[in-house]
Amino acid sequence: IMTTRIVRNLSSSSFSSAFHSQVVVVGAGVLGLAVARSLAQANQDVLLVEKSHAILSETSSRNSEVLHAGIYYPPDSFKAKFCVAGQKLLYEYCRDHAIPVRKCGKLIVG
C-alpha cells in the first residue's frame, strides 16, 4: 500500500530528519504518481512530495484526455514514434485493467 504525504514548507534539515525513505519522488502529477506506484509495487519505501495542496492539481489537471497518435510530428521523429508506441501501451493497460476507454478517432480537415 502506497501512502501519499503532502510535504510543504520544510527546510532541508528538518526534511531529512522527518522522513526516511528508500526513494523520494518529487511531483504528484501523472508521471510522479506512476513512478511512485511502480516503485511501491516493487516493495520500495517511497515518499511522494508535492508542492500543491492536492495531487494532480498542476499541469496534469489540464490534460486533454486525448491519446495522441503522433500525427502532428514528423513521421520518423522520436515524438511520433513515442506517441504511437505509448498510445498502444495505454490501450493495452486499460484493457488489461478493465478501464473504460472510448476510441472515437479523429477527423482532420486540411
Residues known to be catalytic: 68
- Cα within 13 Å of Cα(9), Cβ side: 1
What is the C-alpha R_g of the chain?
A: 18
Tell me how far apart the alpha carbons of residues 7 and 49 are, in angstroms, rounded to a whole number.
Answer: 6
Q: Could you tell me if 91 and 100 are in contact, meaning their C-beta atoms sit under 8 angstroms apart?
A: no
Q: Is 85 helix (H, G, I), strand (E, B) or coil?
A: helix
Cell numbers linked to 100: 473504460
Task: Retrieve residue 75's grid coordinates.
Answer: 513521421
